[in-house]
């Protein structure tokens, strides 16, 4: 057991989410009591959650772009390979 450790925590419970039941926010020790208004705490929690979901969406879009770029390169390689093979085949037929 840790003696003398005291943390202030905000628990956000939701029934709307299929993934999450609760979110925990641990307050910094150096937070002035003046800033601990309930509205400010909820606004800050919402900002953190919004920022986190935007980052997750951005990463998903980047992954999708990387996959489409890989597919595009593969298609370009295959088209070049087939075109080169066709040219070589024509040269053998003509000569």
Q: What is the pLDDT of residues 41-89, one digit of tens each?
A: 777 777 777 777 776 677 777 777 888 888 888 889 988 888 988 888 8
Which residues neighbour 26 within 8 Å (Cβ) at sequence distance 6 or greater? 7, 8, 9
Q: What is the pLDDT of residues 10-22, one digit of tens each?
A: 777 777 777 778 8
pLDDT at 20: 77
Evaluate if residue 34 carries a pLDDT over 60.
no
Task: Check: CB of residue 88 under 8 Å from CB of residue 82.
Answer: no
pLDDT at 35: 53
The Cβ-side half-sphere exposure at 24, using a 13 Å CA radius, reads: 4
pTM: 0.40
């Amino acid at each position: 057991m840790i003696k003398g450790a005291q943390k202030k925590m905000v628990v956000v419970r939701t029934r709307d989410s299929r993934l999450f039941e609760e979110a925990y926010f641990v307050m910094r020790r150096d937070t002035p009591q003046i800033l601990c208004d309930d509205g400010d705490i909820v606004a800050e929690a919402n900002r953190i959650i919004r920022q986190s979901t935007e980052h997750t969406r951005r990463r998903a879009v980047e992954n999708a772009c990387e996959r489409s770029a890989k597919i595009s390169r593969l298609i370009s390689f295959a088209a070049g390979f087939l075109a080169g093979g066709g040219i070589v085949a024509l040269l053998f037929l003509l000569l």
